[in-house]
Structure 1
Amino acid sequence: MGRPTLFHVELKRRGWNNWEEFSVHYVDGGRTLAKQTGQRRLATARVGRTSFERWAKPDYSGRPRAEATQILEHLFGCSIDELFSPALTAAELRQPPTEAAAVIDDLWPSTSRLIVPATGAAGMWELTGRDSLAGTAAAVQVMTAIHDGDSDDVLVVDPAGDLKHFLRPAARRGFLMGVEEHADSHGLYILDAGSARRAQAVASSRGTPIAIPRAYLLDDLTYGILWSLTQLDDGLLADDRALDAESHNLDMYLALPRSAPNRQLLELTAAGASWWGSAFCAQYIGRELQDASDIPLFWTREQRGAEAAPWLFFRHKIDYLRNTGRFADGGQTTSRVFCVPEAAIGRTERYERVLLLLAIALMERHGIRVRLVTEPAYAAMDGVAFVPGRKAVVANWVRTGEPLWAASTISGRADLRSYNTAFGDAGQLDILTAPDPKGRLQELARFLDIDWAWVTTRCRAVAEHGISHFVRTRSRLLTSEGADDALSFLGTFAPNI
């Protein structure tokens, strides 16, 4: 005898392997479906003993019809064809979690670890922090995925009905991970649990599996976004009450010439400290430049992806970039200088370099001319908004140590000459020399050792679906708008295939 059907296996697993017990669930399922679909006949559907005993045979090869198909697919969470096909073996059920863990361990060993049981139950995805990110963890359900030949999706196979329990609304963050087997490798596809829950409701009503866009393949682009956003989001949620309480003191801090609270006193997470320092600096610079008529020049301290990620996700950062556009004058726009020594790039993995590329692309998207210097001598340069001949507004929140920020306004002639020299050197040392954003971003990708055709093609694919479906923001202080904007902008430069 061959392997028993999945229906036969599930009846035993759930303790429904007698007609009386099964009928109770069958009737309840019909009534629930009737309310969901408006098909009243489902509310009175019943199953006869003879039909049940025929379906329950281990080698039954037929297919129930009419409303029975709808009710069975609703009860078991998979298609009627899967339900009456041979069930997967224990070894096959273990394969997706095992392969997913191996892929993640191979690609991101220093920042990611997937712990999943062999039983098909949900596991834990641990994300290790770096720089301004302190790490977090999320629940994950790993399932087999197959390519949908009729669309650009992969379909998640749920032979044991594990998803119904996993996708219940919960306070913790969760991901559905589909594992697709290739000839010599495995592809991982990601869907946020909230998106998967909505997709499951649609799939159940249609009697189809859950579909995940192939654009949500887990690679250095999507992993970098997920890795940084989840850590920022979870940290800000943990700090929500403290940040809300401290926000009432913002005017007091802005009025002081040189003052910043110690992050230890506020007991903030790394994400909360980054947000609070960044938010203060943005308001401080905005206040100091509100009457400026000349176009200011900006110097920024971010060198790594973890430091640059806030530009993509902090809501106030997006507003700050938009406001910078007011300095455009007669076709001239402001510029922003980054100092990224080659040694700093050598210490980062590609997914972090992709985050830096996205952040700089977002600035170019907003009309800001980005310059990049690599001289280590400028690596510790202040973050500053410089109005030549008038003042330098120093506002650091990256790598400031214990204080959340370092802010002051300088107008002494000697100091202004020093800043003028630094920005003059930046113009000479700038390695992004192309006259247009596309050319500068291509030069940046080469410096970061990122394949231009790959990254722009992937950006275009992900932008078509948006990032909120594979990893969503939950904190009120975050938005995916900046990242989506950067993806769309880089995607316009993708080669036509």
Structure 2
Amino acid sequence: MRRTLFSLLLKDRDLLGWEAFCVHFAATGRDLARETGNRRLATASVGRTTFDRWSSGTWSGRPRGEAAQILERMLGHSVEELFNLAPEASEPTTPLESVAARIGARWPTSTVLLPAGGPAGLWEISGQQRLDGTSAAIHLLPVIRRDGEASVHGLDPDGLRDLERFLRPARRGFLVGVEDSRDDVNVYVRDAAGARRPTLPGSPDTGPMSIPSAYLLDDLSYGIVWALTQRDDGLLSDDQALHAEQNLLDTYLSMPRSAPSQLLVDLSTVGSSWMGSAFCARHIQQELTDASEVPIFWTREQTGEEAACWLFFRHKLEYLRALERFHSATAQTVRVFCLPEAVVARSEKYERILLLLAIALMERCGIRVRVVPKTEYSEMDGVALVPGQRAVVANWVRAPGGALWAARSTSSRGDLRSYATVFADAQGADVLVGEDPASRLRSLADYLGLDWRWLTARCHALGEYGVAGLVRPRSRLLTVEALDETLLFLGKVG
């Protein structure tokens, strides 16, 4: 029996499950909403009964309105084509083209383009609210896995010359190993920069003809590549502007309050985020210089896209280390996140992993993290509260009125009481259960819908090799040191 093109495309893209389909449908709707300004696209959804009717393979109706727009963007065909019978024969695709399609189907923020079906092409990565998107050169290679390595095999002299030409340019590029077994296809990723360098004695890296199996492309490794490449390329594009605007930070640090407009500087979204984050870190440290009580902190990040800055911005790691002076055998700083269930539900798995990694970094640094699910606290200020003394407000995530940041310091009794009340409520509403970091992070994984055993095993494997071989930052403003340490930490506590 011939079936609709829609049902066949769902099968090809591993989207026959309602839950998996809804993740991609919602992500596509958010992208279209940003492009068109139609907010209804961002909240459009498909019920299970409707999905079952659509995917039956014989339904002859037509979705309408926002649902039709989203399906057409998501699957690349008009609704008339999607819900008509599929052609009896389709154009054959090469194994490499099939892998490219699988990557795009699993992660809606990725598109792999292979001109003429060849091994070399372009990997386009799109952001959401805090990331602008970027692209990288990509070269697919056949590999076989043995002894913890995915080794390239079956390349003829022409294929080797093609690989050498691909590796020569000093651009962002990735080698992608494709292991085709009878049961499944596994994909491994390696930063091309590492493959250009000769292998050092004692290095776990065995040269350009292999990829560590720890660099398997899954939600953990994809999330890291997705978040780091966009930040890296955004900061590199703003390098001159950020250098020229350093005096802007010094000027505003001398003011009692500030909220400069993003229109003051010509920066990308990533560059603006870095500048806002850098200022707020310096502002808080400056205002806490004479603090005699241990401060407690409220953090505004709610998604993996926002929270990944903790894993990569160099000044974030320096900031956390500077605040370690408040830690002692009898005292511990507390940092609160507001993570409403609805926001978590809209986030894809790789973003939820980034969120957990950022929180794990803080627990590794000796910070007691609390997670509050209450939606009413979504717009709570980012604040460092010194009980009874001072509240240091520092907003750069979703700063009001299109500002780079909004910062001030207050000793008003009314303000201090208000903030203290919220922090007290947060302690009672905390969803992280446990007296030690391992217990709390395990409960966080449950709250985020993540498989704790799988995640910690993958963190251990990836941490042993280090992230730089997977994707290496090029901007001096970024580092993978914090992430490497966090991966190893999670690998141990798991």
Query: Which of the five TM-score ranges fits, normalised by the shorter chain?
Result: 0.7 to 0.9
Q: TM-score, normalised by structure 2?
A: 0.77
2:174 partner SS? strand
1:185 Cα deviation after fit: 2.0
Find the counterpart in structure 2 of residue 406 from structure 1.
Answer: 406
Find the counterpart in structure 1 of residue 262 from structure 2.
Answer: 263
1:361 Cα deviation after fit: 0.3
Q: Superposed, which structure 2 residues align to 1:5-16 within 5 Å?
A: none
Find the counterpart in structure 1 of residue 325 from structure 2.
Answer: 326
**Alpha carbon RMSD of aligned pairs, Å?**
1.8
Find the counterpart in structure 2 of residue 485 from structure 1.
Answer: 485
Find the counterpart in structure 2 of residue 38 from structure 1.
Answer: none
Determine the C-alpha separation between the residues in 2 that align with 1:325 and 1:208: 39
In the TM superposition, what whole-angstrom CA distance separates every residue of 1:70-96 from its partner, at most 9, and x where no partner exists? xxxxxxxxxxxxxxxxxxxxxxx9744
Q: Which moved more, 1:254-263 or 1:481-490?
A: 254-263
Q: TM-score, normalised by structure 1?
A: 0.77
2:456·2:491 contact (CA, 8 Å) conserved in 1?
yes
Find the counterpart in structure 2 of residue 89 from structure 1.
Answer: none
In the TM superposition, what whole-angstrom CA distance separates every residue of 1:117-173 from its partner, at most 9, and x where no partner exists? 24535200000101211110000001111123xx11111233322201000032x20
Tell me, yes or no, if structure 1 residue 155 matches structure 2 residue 184: no
1:295 Cα deviation after fit: 0.2
Find the counterpart in structure 1 of residue 80 from structure 2.
Answer: none
Determine the C-alpha separation between the residues in 2 that align with 1:424 and 1:209: 54
**What is the identity percentage for the equivalent residue pairs of Structure 1 and Structure 2?**
55
Find the counterpart in structure 1 of residue 442 from structure 2.
Answer: 442
Tell me, yes or no, if structure 1 residue 221 matches structure 2 residue 220: yes
In the TM superposition, what whole-angstrom CA distance separates every residue of 1:158-213 from its partner, at most 9, and x where no partner exists? 3322201000032x2000001111223211100101112236999xxxx9971110
Paired amino acid for 1:279: A
Segments of structure 2 that go 5 or more residues without pairing to the other structure are 1-91
Tell me, yes or no, if structure 1 residue 114 matches structure 2 residue 112: yes
Tell me, yes or no, if structure 1 residue 272 matches structure 2 residue 271: yes
Paired amino acid for 2:390: K
Find the counterpart in structure 2 of residue 128 from structure 1.
Answer: 126
Find the counterpart in structure 1 of residue 10 from structure 2.
Answer: none
Determine the C-alpha separation between the residues in 1 that align with 2:117 and 2:357: 39
2:395·2:406 contact (CA, 8 Å) conserved in 1?
yes
Q: Superposed, which structure 2 residues align to 1:413-492 within 5 Å?
A: 413-492=413-492
Determine the C-alpha separation between the residues in 2 that align with 1:183 and 1:121: 21
Find the counterpart in structure 2 of residue 144 from structure 1.
Answer: 142
Paired amino acid for 2:141: M
Determine the C-alpha separation between the residues in 1 that align with 2:101 and 2:174: 17
Determine the C-alpha separation between the residues in 1 that align with 2:493 and 2:337: 23
1:94·1:120 contact (CA, 8 Å) conserved in 2?
no
Paired amino acid for 1:143: L
Determine the C-alpha separation between the residues in 1 that align with 2:290 and 2:238: 34
2:332 partner SS? coil
Paired amino acid for 2:111: R
1:331 Cα deviation after fit: 2.8
Determine the C-alpha separation between the residues in 2 that align with 1:231 and 1:413: 42
1:281 partner SS? helix
Determine the C-alpha separation between the residues in 1 that align with 2:375 and 2:491: 32
Q: Superposed, which structure 2 residues align to 1:39-438 within 5 Å?
A: 95-109=94-108, 111-148=109-146, 151-157=147-153, 158-159=155-156, 160-161=159-160, 162-170=162-170, 172-198=171-197, 210-401=209-400, 402-438=402-438
Larger Rg belongs to:
1
1:358·1:486 contact (CA, 8 Å) conserved in 2?
yes
Determine the C-alpha separation between the residues in 1 that align with 2:381 and 2:106: 35
Decide whether aligned partners of structure 1 residues 413 and 234 sit closer, same or farther in structure 2, where only a CA change above 3 A counts. Answer: same
Determine the C-alpha separation between the residues in 2 that align with 1:422 and 1:260: 24
Decide whether aligned partners of structure 1 residues 329 and 105 sit closer, same or farther in structure 2, where only a CA change above 3 A counts. Answer: same
Paired amino acid for 1:153: E
Determine the C-alpha separation between the residues in 2 that align with 1:449 and 1:356: 12
Paired amino acid for 2:152: V
2:308 partner SS? helix
Determine the C-alpha separation between the residues in 2 that align with 1:96 and 1:454: 28
Decide whether aligned partners of structure 1 residues 200 and 252 sit closer, same or farther in structure 2, where only a CA change above 3 A counts. Answer: closer
Determine the C-alpha separation between the residues in 2 that align with 1:330 and 1:98: 57
1:100 Cα deviation after fit: 2.0
1:258 Cα deviation after fit: 2.4
Determine the C-alpha separation between the residues in 1 that align with 2:458 and 2:280: 33
2:312·2:479 contact (CA, 8 Å) conserved in 1?
yes
Paired amino acid for 1:312: L
